[in-house]
């Protein structure tokens, strides 16, 4: 899995940030739900049963581009902290000669990194463990 995991995660975060920026192209502001409509400068959601439309509207509003961009940046900060510290040539690693996470010393990829990538497990490019 190694660096493929990091490359994969960076690509997914880039895609999410790009889509969020394109969804708020005119900078119309915060998305809000009001009944079965979402104020995101696009109009009303139609074609849904009213109960479902309410939930869809709330879900869409929750994915306000500004919030998505904040989430992407937070994930990038976590990813930047949890980098590979290779065992080879590392004077700080006298134990087991294993690769570890520079942030928490856990075996790399650490649980935090695996948690960040887990929502994308159904993506066709998801790196599988050997």
Q: Give the tens place of pLDDT for each residue, 7-40.
A: 999 999 999 998 888 776 555 556 666 666 666 5
pLDDT for position 12:
95
What pLDDT does 35 receive?
A: 64
Is the omega angle on the peptide bond into residue 50 within 30 degrees of 0, that is, cis? no
Tell me how crowded residue 54 is: count the other CB atoms within 10 A of its CB: 17
Adjacent-strand bridge partners of 37: 34, 44
Q: Which two tokens stand for residue 104?
A: 């928490």
Q: Could you give the CA distance from residue 91 to residue 80 in angstroms, rounded to a whole number? A: 22
In this predicted model, what pLDDT tens digit does every residue of 60-116 receive, in sequence order? 777 778 888 999 999 999 999 998 887 666 666 545 667 888 888 888 889 999 999
Instruction: Please tell me the pTM assigned to this model.
Output: 0.74
Nearest-angstrom CA–CA distance, 97 and 119 = 31
């Amino acid at each position: 899995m190694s660096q493929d995991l990091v490359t994969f995660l960076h690509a997914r975060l880039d895609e999410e940030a790009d889509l969020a920026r394109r969804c708020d192209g005119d900078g119309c502001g915060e998305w809000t739900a009001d009944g079965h409509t979402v104020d995101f400068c696009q109009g009303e959601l139609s074609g849904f049963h009213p109960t479902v439309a309410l939930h869809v509207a709330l879900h869409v509003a929750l994915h306000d581009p500004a919030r998505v961009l904040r989430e992407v940046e937070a994930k990038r900060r976590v990813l930047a902290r949890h980098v590979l510290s290779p065992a080879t040539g590392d004077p700080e690693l006298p134990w087991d000669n294993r690769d570890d996470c520079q942030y928490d010393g856990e075996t790399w990829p650490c649980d935090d990194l695996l948690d960040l990538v887990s929502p994308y497990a159904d993506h066709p490019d998801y790196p599988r463990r050997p």
